[in-house]
Amino acid sequence: MLTLMSMFYYICLRRRSRSGTRGEALTSRRAVESGQRAVLPVSVEVEQYAKEVLDFSSHYGSENSMSYTMWNLAGVPNVYPSSGDFTQTAVFRAYGKWWEQCASAPPPFRRTPKGFHSQDYIELGFEEPVYPTAVDVLETYYPGAIVQIMACSHNPFSQNPPTDVRWEVLWSGEPTKVLTPQARQFSPNIKHINFPTNLLRIEVNSSLLDYYTELDAVILRGVKERPMLARYKMPIIDINDLSDSEEELSDLGGPFRQGGEAKRTGNGYFDKLPYELIQLILSHLTLPDLCRLAQSCKLLHQHCCDPLQYTQLSLQPYWGRLTDVSLGHLQSRCTLLQRLNLSWIGNRGALTLTGFSSFMKACGQSLGSLELSCCHFLNEPCLEVISQTCPGLQELNLSSCDRLQPQAFTHISKLTRLRRLVLYRTKIEQTAILSVLTFCTELRHLNLGSCVRIDDYDVVASMLAARCYSLRSLDLWRCRNLTDRGLAELVTGCRMLEELDLGWCPTLQSSTGCFQHLARNLPRLRKLFLTANRTVCDSDVEELAASCPSLQHLDILGTRLVSPASLKKLLQACPRLLLLDLSFCSQIDMRVVQELSGLFPNVAIKKSFTQ
């Protein structure tokens, strides 16, 4: 019996490629057979804070300051153990389900694995590579968003180009809603890995939180020498580890190759099922499951290769394993592809222009939606390929592709059927965006948040008013130079607007009457963010109450001039209101918030605090 169990563990170790080399696995087997016990060497644990923030998907702050930015995660804590809303912390752009409820939000992709919860991420570099023994995250406000912590084999400070980059999950879990917004140190039990790392990735999901989560610092603890226990101890075997899932994902589509078809033609009761019914059943499988099922018989191989199974394809959950080879194997099955999500994929050399171009030329003809958020492999030739191979493209997301050079964006103007364009945190300049607006007149949703290289937003607003009459949503978060003149032209020309984000736009002044003019011209308005505009006053709120009965989301954080009386009028006049952010409104204290919440229980009234 002992021999059989030992062989079982040996087979499992062989399948778990990351548990060690062949020699280490054999040594582990001998250790079990002989009843030996592994002995840990004495090793000093290193404790270090993040040296540098390497990459992130979004942040609340500006590109030109440190307040509420991800760069605050580098170094020692600024706030912890204090709790509350502090500008010295790292804050992601969104929280809760409010953003998902907006008309500008794209529908979710089918086949997304149930275990994939990540919405945002940040990557941190540390001084010394270590074998991790613990990771501590100091959360100072509304904790509970962290869903995954990963380690990378690549040294981000090495002068050598990355080769054979490998990511390992140290810990993963589901998003949680912690009962208190108080600060805490999050120290999950992490998995031991067999390579040293000084690059961590933290992924978050803030959908269950009542307000923005704030992170202060990350501590990586570890030893410089590989622990002997990691070499010899027997890992706990999970039934899910008995599949070759990692090989399947790194060689995605490989099982579909024609050489491995079964010769036997009898498929039992499957032969009696209608083709369409089998297709419907298979449509509920994830992509790796399709790969496995294709190996079972000739009939299911045919179904799993059917291009109708690939009209929507989200590869984002597999971002750490996708390569040019993976896309190459999928090409023949994606000829009817309509929606494609490649967000977060291809960084550190995993995808190249050659592999991306080949896939797009084979699969882009029917493509209507393309998600490329945080894809740092993109360059100008890639955007040129998109403009040439995707004539019917209606949705393009380049959010946080901040390494794309300004001249690359000129190719977007060739996609004349665009309806949704996300350029958040990109280097697009004024000439390029004006060219896009000139030719892409069917735009419905446009995101120019944190696009700091646009010199004159008044000119952009004027062009939008003249060319994009059907615009439904516009995000101008942190645009620094939009004035009342540009806003007046915008709301006069784009009267179909339902969502307008003017958060942290300091050049807009209520004294010009611009906000009241906005309210009178946008009766369809559902979402309005006037975040951190200190001049918003009672007259503006009362005009919103009178003119915008469909209002659902309103953010007037930071104003000193709004009273409880005007807010009560707003809440009475806007029965669909769901979110009202009154944080740092000096006339509104917690007593007023509690009173209004009692009168209007269906409205989430936000009031952050600083301890």
Check pLDDT > 80 for residue 10.
Answer: no
pTM: 0.88
137/160: higher pLDDT: 137
In a shared domain, residues 292 and 321:
no
Is residue 160 a part of any domain in this protein?
yes
CA 82-88-93 angle, 5° bins: 110
Residue 160's pLDDT band, with cuts at 50, 70 and 90, is confident
418/100: higher pLDDT: 418
Coil, strand, or helix at residue 152? strand
Predicted pLDDT of residue 533: 97
In a shared domain, residues 411 and 558:
no
CA 303 → CA 109, 256, 276, 294, distances in Å? 20, 11, 10, 8
Between CA 373 and CA 195 the distance in angstroms is 29
Is residue 596 a part of any domain in this protein?
yes
Check pLDDT > 80 for residue 5.
Answer: no
Check pLDDT > 70 for residue 39.
Answer: no
Domain holding 523, by residue range, is 468-611
Residue 36's pLDDT band, with cuts at 50, 70 and 90, is very low
Residues contacting 340, CB < 8 A, separation 6+: 312, 313, 314, 315, 334, 363, 367, 369, 370, 371
Is residue 510 a part of any domain in this protein?
yes
Is residue 523 reached through a cis peptide bond, with omega within 30 degrees of 0 on the bond before it? no
In a shared domain, residues 485 and 610:
yes
pLDDT digits (tens, 9 = 90+) for 246-263: 444 445 544 444 444 444
- 467: number of Cβ within 10 Å: 19
Predicted pLDDT of residue 7: 47
Predicted pLDDT of residue 602: 97
Predicted pLDDT of residue 241: 41
In a shared domain, residues 298 and 340:
no
Check pLDDT > 60 for residue 477.
Answer: yes
Mean pLDDT (whole number) for 77-105: 95
Give backbone dihedrals phi and psi of 387, rounded to 5 degrees, phi first.
-65, -25
Total domain count, the chain: 4
Mean pLDDT (whole number) for 309-331: 95
Coil, strand, or helix at residue 580? strand
Between CA 544 and CA 340 the distance in angstroms is 39
What CATH number did the domain enclosing 180 receive? 2.60.120.260
Predicted pLDDT of residue 191: 96
Instruction: Quote the DSSP letter at residue 119.
Output: -
Predicted pLDDT of residue 22: 36
Portion of the chain with pLDDT greater than 70, in percent: 86
Predicted pLDDT of residue 162: 79
Predicted pLDDT of residue 231: 54
Between CA 478 and CA 497 the distance in angstroms is 19
Residue (of 457, 403, 456, 446) closest to 426 by Cα position: 403
Check pLDDT > 70 for residue 172.
Answer: yes
What CATH number did the domain enclosing 474 receive? 3.80.10.10
In a shared domain, residues 428 and 551:
no
Is residue 354 a part of any domain in this protein?
yes
Predicted pLDDT of residue 265: 53
Is residue 261 a part of any domain in this protein?
no
In a shared domain, residues 169 and 193:
yes
Give me the half-sphere count of Cα atoms (radius 13 Å) on the Cβ side of residue 36: 13
For residue 520, how far is the Cα from the chain centroid?
A: 35
Between CA 605 and CA 589 the distance in angstroms is 12
Residue 523's pLDDT band, with cuts at 50, 70 and 90, is very high
Please count the residues of the chain.
Answer: 611
Check pLDDT > 70 for residue 94.
Answer: yes
Predicted pLDDT of residue 515: 98
Contact between residue 607 and residue 584 where contact means Cβ atoms under 8 Å apart:
no
Instruction: Give the lowest-confidence range in 29-38, 152-161, 539-548.
Output: 29-38
Residue 52's pLDDT band, with cuts at 50, 70 and 90, is very high
Say which amino acid occupies 291.
Answer: C
What tokens were used for 133? 């023994």
In a shared domain, residues 288 and 324:
no
In a shared domain, residues 322 and 437:
yes
Question: What does the mean pLDDT of the chain come to?
Answer: 89
pLDDT digits (tens, 9 = 90+) for 327-377: 999 999 999 999 999 999 999 999 999 999 999 999 999 999 999 999 999
Q: Is the dihedral of CA 387, 390, 392, 395 positive or negative?
A: negative
In order, the DSSP letters of 242-291 are: GS-HHHHHHTTTGGG-GGG--S----GGGGGS-HHHHHHHHTTS-HHHHH
* 320-333 exposure pattern, b = at least 16 Cβ within 10 A, e = fewer: bbbbbebbbbbbbb
Say which amino acid occupies 564.
Answer: P
Predicted pLDDT of residue 610: 78
Instruction: Quote the DSSP letter at residue 226.
Output: P
Is residue 219 a part of any domain in this protein?
yes
In a shared domain, residues 478 and 428:
no
Contact between residue 16 and residue 22 where contact means Cβ atoms under 8 Å apart:
no
Predicted pLDDT of residue 229: 56
In a shared domain, residues 345 and 412:
yes
Check pLDDT > 90 for residue 425.
Answer: yes
Between CA 383 and CA 395 the distance in angstroms is 14
In a shared domain, residues 155 and 189:
yes
385/238: higher pLDDT: 385
* 227-244 exposure pattern, b = at least 16 Cβ within 10 A, e = fewer: beebbbbbbeeeeebeeb
CA 65 → CA 62, 120, 504, 533, distances in Å? 6, 20, 13, 18
Contact between residue 467 and residue 437 where contact means Cβ atoms under 8 Å apart:
yes
Predicted pLDDT of residue 507: 96
Is residue 382 a part of any domain in this protein?
yes
Check pLDDT > 90 for residue 124.
Answer: yes
Residue 509's pLDDT band, with cuts at 50, 70 and 90, is very high
265/149: higher pLDDT: 149
Contact between residue 501 and residue 554 where contact means Cβ atoms under 8 Å apart:
no
Predicted pLDDT of residue 164: 86
In a shared domain, residues 299 and 314:
no
Check pLDDT > 90 for residue 206.
Answer: yes
Is residue 184 a part of any domain in this protein?
yes
